[in-house]
């Protein structure tokens, strides 16, 4: 499945799918979606890129190792729970702050931090599995 058309369109499709995965992540608080589905879409995007361009190009495209991404996501998810505990509420209770950034009020919350953590765990774990399987098959 290494055709010229696939190799040409895969980077564009990957970029579009990664953008859509971030949209699904950010949309997930009020409507269907969230960290898990967004992470799966991002992992599928990287898998398509890996099929077209090879696992080595995916490893070069990722800034961090996939398992490092998963560990970072797990730390984000735990931090979301600990922030509520340290503020005197139950573990994983939602907390919101509204700082002004560049003159615009932005809503930051622990549920968003938890969703970003889930996104990174799913992206890292699924990408690591897909890359190991692809490398084994090519060897």
Q: SS3 for 84?
A: helix
Count of all residues that appear for the chain in the document: 139
The number of distinct structural domains making up the chain is 1
- Across the range 90-118, mean pLDDT stands at 91
Percent helix, strand, coil in the chain, to 5, is: 70, 5, 20
The string of pLDDT tens digits covering residues 53-77 is 889 999 999 999 999 999 999 999 9
Residue 17 confidence (pLDDT) above 70: yes
Domain range for 101 is 4-138
Residue 92 confidence (pLDDT) above 90: no
């Amino acid at each position: 499945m290494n055709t010229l058309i696939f190799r040409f369109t895969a980077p564009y499709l990957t970029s579009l799918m990664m953008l859509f995965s971030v949209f699904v992540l950010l949309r997930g608080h009020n409507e269907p979606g969230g960290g898990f589905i967004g992470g799966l879409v991002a992992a599928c995007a990287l898998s398509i890129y890996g099929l077209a361009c090879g696992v080595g190009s995916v490893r070069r495209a990722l800034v961090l190792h996939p398992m490092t991404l998963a560990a970072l996501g797990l730390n984000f998810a735990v931090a979301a729970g600990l922030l509520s505990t340290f503020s005197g509420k139950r573990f994983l209770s939602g907390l919101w702050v509204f700082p002004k950034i560049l003159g615009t009020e932005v809503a930051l919350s622990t549920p968003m931090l938890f969703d970003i953590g889930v996104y990174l765990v799913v992206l890292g774990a699924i990408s690591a599995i897909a890359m190991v399987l692809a490398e084994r098959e090519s060897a």
